[in-house]
Every structure is written in C-alpha cells, then in structure tokens.
Amino acid sequence: GRSLPDQFIIIDEAQNLTPHEMKTIITRAGENTKLVLTGDPYQIDIPYLDSQSNGLSVAVEKLKGEEMVGHMTLDKGERSKLADLAAKYF
C-alpha cells in the first residue's frame, strides 16, 4: 500500500473505525509523519462496535507504553450540562 511521509494527519471520530481500519491508517504513516486520533469511545455510531472493540480503544490499548505514542483522556465536556446528562444516561 501507499506510504504517507512528512505529513500531519488528524483522524476525527476515530471511535467509529474498526480495528482493521485503524491498522490500515496507522500502517500508512511514513517517516516523519505525525498521526493524531481523536474520538469518544462512548459516542459510537456503528452498531457492531462498542466502547472496547472500536479501533480507537484497541489502538490505545495495544500501543500503550510505546515510546513514540502518547495518549490523553479529557474528562470535561465542553458542550452543555444537558449534553453531559445525555452522555451519562444514554
């Protein structure tokens, strides 16, 4: 497949990717490429994925501890109190 060197790639809504799709994206990153994955594993739109089986969660778990990989979890929502309630109960 194609390799993408010297790029800055942002993948938003990465929780909607399968582990296979995530692997495909990560393995396309070439030399000097930075890859940023964003998403919320509790806001999945794909019926056959869940908070543990989606590509984002699998990538975080498998790549944990690797020197060139960083991960952060943001705990505070920035929408509204109503949006926070919806995320909590649905």
pTM: 0.85
Q: Does the pLDDT value for residue 11 go beyond 80?
A: yes
pLDDT, tens digit (0-9, with 9 covering 90-100), for 71-86: 999 887 778 989 888 8
Average pLDDT, the chain: 94
Residue 57 — very low, low, confident or very high, per pLDDT cuts 50/70/90? very high
Q: Once rounded to an integer, what is the mean pLDDT over residues 53-61?
A: 98
Q: Once rounded to an integer, what is the mean pLDDT over residues 14-42?
A: 97
DSSP, residue by residue, 1-62: ---B-S-EEEE-SGGGS-HHHHHHHHHHB-TT-EEEE---TTS---TT--TTTSHHHHHHHH
Residue with tokens 């590509």: 55
